[in-house]
Amino acid sequence: MSDKYLIFGATGSIGSSLAQQLKDADHNAHLVSRNEEELKSMAEKLGFSYSVADVLDDGFIDRIKSDVSDDSIKGLAYCIGSIDLKPLKRVTESDMNQCMKLNLYSAIEAIQGFQDELKKNNGSIVLFSSVAAQKGFTNHTIIASAKAAIEGLTVTLAAELAPSIRVNCIAPSLTDSKISQSMLKSEVVAEALAKAHPLKRLGDGKDSASLAKFLLGEESSWVTGQIMGVDGGRSSLS
C-alpha cells in the first residue's frame, strides 16, 4: 500500500464509501473531516491515517500537510458539499461567501497544497459538482452557483495541470446522506424526489464513490477534464 489517496469529507456518505472501496482494493488513504469522533473510529477501523480539520478554518491545509508524513500522494478527492436552498429574495452575501468557501475556495487551497506531490506522482484529482449546476431547480441559487464554479475549475485545471495531473468532476443528483436528511425526513417527499429520477431511486454514497475510485486510478489514465453525472438519469432524461 504505497500510493496514498487524500479524501476530504471522509465521514460523509460519498467520502466514507470511497474510503472503504479504496481499502477493499488494498490502497492507502489519508482521511480528512471535521467530525473528530466519527473520523477517528473510521480511520482506526480501516487502518488509515487522518487529520481533523475544518476546511472553513484559515490554515486548514497546513494542519493536514503536517499530518501527511511523505510525498506519496497519488490522488485527491474533494468530497465536500452542502445543500443550501433559499429563494432568491432571501439569499445574502454571507450565504454566498460561505458556500463558495466550502465548495470552491477550499478545494482550490487543497489542490494548491498538494499540487507538487500530485505532479510528482502523475496523480488524479476528483471534484464534486451537482446536477443542479446544469439543470435548473428553484431555490438553488446558492449551491448551483458554487457547483457551477467547480465545473469551471475542473476544465481549467485539467488544461493547466496536464499532462502530469488529471482532473475530473462528478455531478451527483440527490443522494441519501447526512446533509440531505432535512429534505428526506418526510417519506412522501422522499418518495416523490426518488420518482423524479428515471431510475426511480435516490443516490447512494457508493454510486458516486465507485466512479471516484475509477477516476483516481490508473484505469482512467486517458480521462481528464470531464464532468460526469451520477444522477439516475435526472440531468438528461427528465
Decide: helix, strand or coil at residue 60: helix
- Distance between CA atoms of 230 and 235, rounded to whole angstroms? 9
- Distance between CA atoms of 103 and 194, rounded to whole angstroms? 25
Q: Where are the domains of the chain?
A: 4-175+204-237
Whether the predicted pLDDT of 40 surpasses 80: yes
In this structure, the dihedral spanned by the alpha carbons of residues 113, 219, 50 and 209, taken in order and rounded to 10 degrees, is 110
Whether the predicted pLDDT of 144 surpasses 50: yes
157-172 pLDDT per residue, tens: 999 999 999 999 999 9
Decide: helix, strand or coil at residue 48: coil
Grid coordinates belonging to 175? 443522494
| pTM: predicted TM-score of the whole model, two decimal places | 0.94
Whether the predicted pLDDT of 77 surpasses 90: yes
Mean pLDDT of all residues in 24-30 = 96
Whether the predicted pLDDT of 220 surpasses 70: yes
The CATH class, in words, for 4-175+204-237 is alpha beta
- The pairs formed by 113-118 with CB atoms below 8 angstroms and a separation of 24 or more are 113/61, 113/62, 113/64, 113/65, 114/6, 114/65, 114/73, 114/76, 115/161, 115/165, 116/71, 117/71, 117/72, 117/73, 118/73, 118/74, 118/75, 118/76, 118/161, 118/164, 118/165
Region of poorest pLDDT, from 111-120, 188-197, 202-211: 188-197
pLDDT-based confidence at residue 145 (cuts at 50, 70, 90): very high
- Bridge partner residues of 166 (DSSP): 124
Whether the predicted pLDDT of 182 surpasses 80: no
Mean pLDDT of all residues in 8-21 = 97
Higher per-residue pLDDT: 70 or 148: 148
pLDDT at position 2, please? 65
Mean pLDDT of all residues in 142-168 = 97
- State the SS3 of 183-219: HHCCHHHHHHHHHCCCCCCCECHHHHHHHHHHHHCHH
Whether the predicted pLDDT of 142 surpasses 50: yes
pLDDT-based confidence at residue 136 (cuts at 50, 70, 90): confident
Whether the predicted pLDDT of 1 surpasses 50: no
Higher per-residue pLDDT: 15 or 191: 15
Classify residue 104 by its DSSP letter. Answer: I
